[in-house]
């Protein structure tokens, strides 16, 4: 008895009168206390994960509005692309040089990931905002993304979709179809060009998502390929050959694009997504992302005055449900 590790714990008044004590094993006290701390930390981490996922929704829906505003300004889409790569690469370069992510990444993968996140991808997206409203960017790019990724996973990884995912994909197609035939005053005879460009951007990003999953691409590798390499390759082309509207842009518009395009999606967005996935898991994070098309539509209506027609609003219902069904399906 003398060798046993014990802890003296006073009984509460209602259980015993006076200052009586009982002997409790120290290991039991420590174990229970540790479990309480871990449970509390887990709950706290999940709440932070939910906050991070919510912030991602706000980032991407806000990006739709900022990109539409930039594409409609005197800045060219080439300026927007240079801002995106240039500013983010300046911030990312010290981290890339310190962690040296190229050492653990084959050259072919560096080339492919850089290409999938290259100006070919981003110029398709920014070009789409010239012809189509911000809401269509959320629908034809973010909204269609899960369905395209599902198809690529089937063709590339031989992952046959389950019935819930197929049904979700059908609802996504229905939602995009309703948005296509919407009779909003914002739509022009050239809106379909923007929609196709958004779809092209979604294909690029879907390939990137599947490749990143297969190759387990890290955050530092993304910064290397998505920011630094593309900035190095695109800057001389932009400087020597492409039209620019920097000299004509108002300071407010220029600062907005420099801050948002350069920092928020590529840096803050990546960190928030990574934290959310680690805290609440990929399915829950993907479920939050289902809100991007609807949130983008609401923000574009509030900030840009771009109100979709009745079918445009209604298209968000099957689209969001379809995204949730694809994201939360269990194999």
Q: CA torsion, points 23, 24, 25, 31, in degrees to nearest 10?
A: -160
More confident site: 172 or 266 = 172
pLDDT recorded at residue 115? 96
Confirm whether 201 is domain-assigned.
Answer: yes
pLDDT of 3 > 50? The answer is no
Confirm whether 104 is domain-assigned.
Answer: yes
Q: How many CB atoms lie within 10 A of CB 85?
A: 29
- Residues 306-318, mean pLDDT to the nearest whole number: 92
Sequence-ordered alpha helix ranges (H) in the chain: 26-71, 77-99, 107-116, 119-131, 134-137, 145-157, 163-180, 191-215, 219-222, 230-241, 251-263, 270-280, 282-289, 292-304, 310-328
Which range is most confident: 148-152, 196-200, 279-283?
196-200
Is residue 306 within 8 Å of 300, Cβ to Cβ? yes
Task: Sort 42 into a burial class: Cβ within 10 Å, 0-12 / 13-18 / 19+.
Answer: exposed
Cβ within 8 Å of residue 236, ≥6 positions away: none
Query: In total, how many domains does the chain have?
Result: 1
Confirm whether 22 is domain-assigned.
Answer: no
pLDDT recorded at residue 263? 87
pLDDT recorded at residue 319? 92
pLDDT of 32 > 60? The answer is no
Confirm whether 179 is domain-assigned.
Answer: yes
Give the Cα separation of 61 and 277 in Å (integer): 19
More confident site: 285 or 72 = 72
Confidence of residue 282 (pLDDT cuts 50, 70, 90): low
Please name every residue paired with 7 in a beta bridge, in sequence order, or none if there are none. Answer: 24
Q: How many CB atoms lie within 10 A of CB 110?
A: 16
User: Regarding beta strands 6-10 and 21-25, do their DSSP bridges make them parallel or antiparallel, or are they unpaired?
Assistant: antiparallel
More confident site: 69 or 278 = 69
pLDDT 10s digits, 199-245: 999 999 889 888 888 888 888 998 999 999 999 999 999 999 999 99
- Residues 167-171, mean pLDDT to the nearest whole number: 91
Confirm whether 28 is domain-assigned.
Answer: no
**Closest by CA position to 119, among listed 77, 89, 148, 152:** 77
CA angle 201, 127, 273 (to 5 degrees): 45
Q: Can you read off the two tokens belonging to residue 225?
A: 């390929």
pLDDT of 42 > 70? The answer is no
Confirm whether 188 is domain-assigned.
Answer: yes
> Residue 288 is part of which domain span?
59-328
Q: What is the CA 247 to chain-centroid distance, rounded?
A: 32
More confident site: 82 or 146 = 82
Give the Cα separation of 223 and 40 in Å (integer): 33
Q: What is the CA 47 to chain-centroid distance, rounded?
A: 18
pLDDT of 171 > 50? The answer is yes
More confident site: 147 or 109 = 109
Residue 21 dihedral angles phi and psi, to the nearest 5°: -135, 150
- Residues 17-37, mean pLDDT to the nearest whole number: 50
pLDDT of 169 > 70? The answer is yes
Confirm whether 53 is domain-assigned.
Answer: no
Is residue 169 within 8 Å of 322, Cβ to Cβ? yes
Kind and range of the H or E run holding 5: none
Confirm whether 52 is domain-assigned.
Answer: no
Collapse the DSSP code of 8 into the 3-class scheme (helix H, G, I; strand E, B; otherwise coil) and give the result.
Answer: strand
For CA atoms 297, 177, 119, 282, give the dihedral sign: positive
């Amino acid at each position: 008895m003398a060798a046993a590790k014990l802890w003296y714990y006073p009984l509460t008044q209602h259980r015993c009168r006076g200052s009586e004590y009982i002997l409790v094993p120290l290991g039991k006290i420590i174990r229970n206390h540790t479990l309480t701390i871990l449970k509390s930390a887990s709950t706290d981490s999940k709440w932070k994960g939910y906050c991070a996922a919510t912030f991602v929704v706000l980032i991407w829906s806000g990006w739709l509005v900022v990109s539409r505003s930039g594409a409609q300004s005197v800045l060219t889409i080439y300026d927007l692309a240079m801002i995106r790569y240039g500013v983010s690469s300046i911030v990312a370069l010290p981290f890339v040089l310190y962690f040296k992510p190229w050492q653990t990444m084959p050259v072919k993968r560096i080339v492919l990931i850089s290409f999938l996140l290259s100006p070919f991808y981003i110029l398709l997206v920014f070009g789409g905002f010239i012809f189509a409203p911000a809401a269509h960017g959320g629908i034809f790019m973010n909204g269609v993304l899960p369905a395209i990724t599902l198809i690529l996973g089937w063709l590339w990884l031989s992952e046959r979709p389950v019935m819930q995912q197929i049904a979700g994909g059908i609802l996504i197609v229905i939602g995009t179809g309703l948005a296509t035939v919407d009779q909003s005053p914002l739509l022009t005879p050239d809106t379909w060009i923007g929609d196709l460009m958004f779809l092209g951007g979604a294909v690029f990003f879907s390939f990137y998502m599947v490749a990143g999953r297969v190759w387990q691409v890290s955050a530092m590798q993304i910064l290397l390929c998505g920011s630094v390499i593309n900035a190095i390759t695109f800057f001389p082309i932009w400087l020597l050959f492409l039209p620019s509207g920097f000299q004509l842009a108002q300071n407010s518009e220029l600062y907005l694009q420099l801050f948002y395009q350069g920092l928020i999606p590529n840096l803050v967005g990546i960190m928030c997504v990574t934290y959310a996935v680690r805290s609440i898991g990929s399915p829950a994070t993907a479920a939050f992302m289902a809100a991007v098309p609807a949130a983008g539509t609401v923000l574009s209506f509030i900030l840009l005055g771009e109100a979709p027609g009745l079918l445009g609003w209604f298209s968000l219902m099957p689209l969001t449900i379809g995204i949730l069904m694809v994201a939360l399906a269990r194999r």
